[in-house]
């Protein structure tokens, strides 16, 4: 059984997958979201890429918003996050070369067994958020401009709820990554929205369970982008492109597909390039 207690994670974590014989410059820096780290996905797929290419991948795992800002500053070679509108804007601004779909899963709302808002078993996430707000039941938000936070705010807006007005009352903003926010939520008896992969891997569930799931509006798409070397000359374009190409290839997609926790698949690859290679 694989379980991770994700409390106490720093806001930014650098993960390096290094081999003893690597040349100093044979590495790339990937700006990514915390869910790819917290879920254990990178632990699974990056050694495969390194074994094939000899390229070390160093990951900065932060919220998607911060990862995009870092990449826009030229602090990275590849961006691997999950907020498609912001990713497309990143490319449109000239900071990225081209965006590719990589994989997807979904978001879930988890909550305490007492279920004070009476939302357990619901599949309409907007109606569920409305009930949480009406009951003024505690809700812990990441509050960190991550992809999860962006998605959560869109859903509150669709529910017609002004969470900014409730901030500090029943609506609490953790300002931290997914694992730390889950720990905050379970500690205070609050509902919280998580990507499913991090929730599956989370090792401090206690008696918490998924309360709301199955709404198409909780779809969670991930994308990958090479940072534009024309705008950021320090970008290792050749090495970064090799990583992008591998992730969206049939081999990389199969690596993602093969990652499971307790027999449950966490991410579902959907790169069109891989599908073309497999069918063509």
Residue 3 in this model has a pLDDT that exceeds 90: no
- In this predicted structure, what is the pLDDT of residue 273? 59
Secondary structure (H, E, C), the chain:
CCCECCCCCCCCEEEECCCCCCCCCCEEEEEEEHHHHHCCHHHHHHHHHHHHHCCEEEEEEECHHHHHHHHHCCCCCEEEECCHHHHHHHHHCCCEEEEEEEEEEEEEEEECCCCCCCCCCECCHHHHHHHHHHHCCCEEECCCCCHHHHHHHHHHHHCCCCHHHHECCCEEECCCCHHHHHHHHHHHCCEEEEEHHHHHHECCCCCCEEEECCCHHHEEEEEEEEECCCCCCCCCHHHHHHHHHHHCCHHHHHHHHCCEECCEECCEECCHHHHHHHHC
Residue 279 pLDDT greater than 50, yes or no: no
User: What is the model's pTM?
Assistant: 0.84
Q: What is the pLDDT of residues 161-215, one digit of tens each?
A: 999 999 999 999 999 888 899 999 999 999 999 999 999 999 889 999 999 999 9
Instruction: Give the pLDDT of residue 106.
Output: 97
Mean pLDDT along residues 70-82: 97
249 has pLDDT over 80: yes
**To the nearest whole number, what is the mean pLDDT of the chain?**
90
Report pLDDT digits (tens) over 17-72.
444 434 457 999 999 998 898 899 999 999 999 999 999 999 999 989 999 999 99
Domains and CATH numbers, the chain: 13-105+221-279 (3.40.190.10), 107-218 (3.40.190.10)
């Amino acid at each position: 059984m694989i379980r991770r207690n994700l409390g106490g994670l720093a806001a930014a974590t650098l993960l390096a997958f290094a081999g003893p014989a690597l040349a100093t410059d044979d590495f790339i820096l990937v700006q990514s979201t915390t869910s790819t780290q917290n879920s254990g996905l990178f632990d699974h797929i990056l050694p495969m890429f390194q074994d094939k290419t000899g390229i070390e991948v160093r990951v900065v795992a932060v919220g998607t918003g911060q990862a995009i800002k870092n990449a826009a500053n030229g602090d990275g070679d590849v961006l691997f996050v999950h907020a498609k509108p912001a990713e497309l804007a990143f490319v449109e601004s000239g900071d990225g070369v081209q965006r590719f779909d990589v994989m997807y899963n979904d978001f879930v709302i988890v909550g305490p067994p007492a279920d004070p808002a009476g939302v357990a078993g619901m599949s309409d996430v907007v109606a569920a958020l409305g009930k949480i707000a009406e009951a003024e039941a505690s809700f812990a938000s990441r509050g960190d401009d991550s992809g999860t936070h962006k998605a959560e705010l869109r859903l509150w807006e669709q529910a017609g709820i002004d969470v900014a007005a409730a901030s500090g009352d029943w609506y609490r903003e953790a300002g931290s990554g997914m694992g730390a926010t889950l720990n905050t939520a379970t500690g205070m008896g609050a509902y919280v929205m998580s990507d499913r992969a991090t929730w599956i891997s989370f090792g401090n569930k206690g008696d918490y369970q998924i309360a709301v799931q199955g709404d198409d509006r909780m779809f969670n798409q991930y994308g990958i982008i090479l940072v534009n070397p024309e705008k950021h000359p320090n970008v290792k374009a050749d090495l970064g492109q090799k990583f992008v190409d591998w992730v969206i290839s049939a081999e990389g997609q199969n690596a993602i597909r093969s990652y499971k926790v307790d027999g449950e698949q966490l991410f579902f690859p959907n790169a069109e390039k891989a599908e073309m290679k497999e069918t063509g």
